Structure 1
Amino acid sequence: MKVNEVSWSDLEQEVAHTAFQTAYEREINALIQEVRDNASKIHELEDIWSFHNFLSARRHEIDGKYDYNYSVLVFVFATLVKQGWLHLDELKGLDKEKIAKIGSLSRM
């Protein structure tokens, strides 16, 4: 199966969209909590610039990771599973081959 040429049924698209949103919300909520925890530690100007750099890096990372393009979605899901933002069982409804590929890639 060439993952960039895989078709997605209507059901798979719904499952994928829900899983994608779930992972995104988890990561964003974790980031918001981290921002709240770290904002209280700002005491000097240098702390502000460090915090700014941290936020810029995280924004770049998150914007690059969450690509809802069906040609790369298997890879996106594998990354999200590997990082713990998504669980394979949340992808039930996808084709078994897709789930197997995501599982394999997440262990690399």
Structure 2
Amino acid sequence: MMQITDIEWSTTEKKIAQAALEKAKEREINALLATVRQQASGIQEFNDLWHLHDFLSARRYDLDGKYDSRNATVIFSLAGLVKEGWLKITELEGLDREKITKVSAMTRMI
């Protein structure tokens, strides 16, 4: 049985996966920007500024690892993004049926 990390990706599939990752990242960043604008407008005290800083630090840490497009981890990245709602399974159209099935199954496991 082939391990998830041993999956082969065609050039077309790599492009589809990369485009999906970029689309999801753009959505998440736009949502983050809206949240930051809202939080920044509510800053009243010095401590509020540090709360915003802490929030941004945590989000940066999360975002830095989330959009990994390496062949060995892209299935996990896509599944996580589908589960979080940043990506729809239908946006992976063009990937091999087995890969879409794995992404879909993983959204229920992770």
Give the TM-score, by structure 2 length.
0.95
CA distance, structure 2, for counterparts of residue 58 and residue 24 of structure 1: 12
- In structure 1, stretches of 5+ residues that fail to align are none
- 1:85 deviates by 0.3
Q: How many residue pairs end up in the alignment?
A: 108
CA distance, structure 1, for counterparts of residue 94 and residue 3 of structure 2: 19
Residue 105 of structure 2 corresponds to 104
- 1:34 deviates by 0.5
CA distance, structure 1, for counterparts of residue 15 and residue 47 of structure 2: 45
Matches for 1:2-13 after TM superposition, within 5 Å: 2-13=3-14
Residue 92 of structure 1 corresponds to 93
- In structure 2, stretches of 5+ residues that fail to align are none
- Deviations along 1:42-86, whole A, 9 cap, x unmatched? 010000011100000000011121111111000000000000000
CA distance, structure 2, for counterparts of residue 65 and residue 10 of structure 1: 22
CA distance, structure 1, for counterparts of residue 92 and residue 68 of structure 2: 17
Q: Which runs of 4+ in 1 moved over 4 A?
A: none
Q: Per the alignment, in what secondary structure is the counterpart of residue 107 of structure 1? A: helix
CA distance, structure 2, for counterparts of residue 61 and residue 13 of structure 1: 23
CA distance, structure 1, for counterparts of residue 99 and residue 81 of structure 2: 14
CA distance, structure 2, for counterparts of residue 105 and residue 63 of structure 1: 21
Matches for 1:1-108 after TM superposition, within 5 Å: 1-108=2-109
CA distance, structure 1, for counterparts of residue 69 and residue 10 of structure 2: 15
